[in-house]
Structure 1
Amino acid sequence: MAELVAAGAPELPSGWFYRVQSDGMGFLEVEIRQHRKRFGSRLLSSAYVREGEPNGRRAVAAACRAALREIDARGEHARRLRQASLFLGDHDPRGGR
């Protein structure tokens, strides 16, 4: 992971790691995965490596940042849902709930 971080990828929390792999169709994909206690790992997020970066290292680092942004966005969405759930139920226009 140190090589990716040096290229501009975010450092991940303990127990998380990046996996860069081919998707079998000629594209590279970056996955953020979490180690499991017993077997293998769990996929948390992924992003495809896109063209347009000046070199391959930066392109992979950009995909790492995109995958982490997706995790952050899901966390923000969950936080908003928890806040909104305070309003579950009927709301009487006459002032009662």
Structure 2
Amino acid sequence: MSMSQLVAAGAPELPEGCFYRVRSNGLCLEVQVRERRKRFGSVVRALAYVRPDEPDGLTAIVGACVHAVRRMEEQESNWLAALDATQYIGDHDPKGGR
């Protein structure tokens, strides 16, 4: 199945350079959002497990795609908050010095 078919079925569009991978981890199916590397291969940006209680396989895969993209977006906003927190690096003693 192509990414355009997944998107047509309801999966979110991904940023340029990203793609979905559906794979078995031995216990269940998972959907990965992966980003292509400049030289070799790709890296996982987010993943979600496919729920077995959906009415059909395509609905289950699309649901996992939606969840994986939501996780990726949350991770990006958490990373920005952590980056903002770097301004507080250092000692904070009771006398006000650094």
Q: TM-score, normalized by length of structure 2?
A: 0.80
- Answer with 30-39 or 55-64: which moved more: 30-39
Q: What's the counterpart of residue 14 of structure 1?
A: 16
Q: Distance in 1 between matches of 2:41 and 2:19?
A: 12
Paired AA for residue 17 in structure 1 = F
Q: List runs of 5+ in structure 2 lacking aligned partners.
A: none
How many angstroms does 1:93 deviate by?
A: 5.3
Q: List runs of 5+ in structure 1 lacking aligned partners.
A: none
Any idea what the Cα deviations from partners look like across 1:42-80, whole Å, max 9, x if unmatched?
222211100222221111011111111221111111111
Q: Distance in 1 between matches of 2:51 and 2:20?
A: 16
Q: TM-score, normalized by length of structure 1?
A: 0.81
Q: What's the counterpart of residue 42 of structure 1?
A: 43
Percent identical across equivalent pairs? 51
Q: Distance in 2 between matches of 1:32 and 1:72?
A: 11
**In 2 relative to 1, CA 92–23 (structure 1 residues): closer, same or farther, beyond 3 Å?**
closer
The number of equivalent residue pairs is: 96
Q: Distance in 2 between matches of 1:12 and 1:82?
A: 24
Paired AA for residue 90 in structure 2 = G
CA RMSD of aligned residues (A): 1.9
Paired AA for residue 87 in structure 2 = L
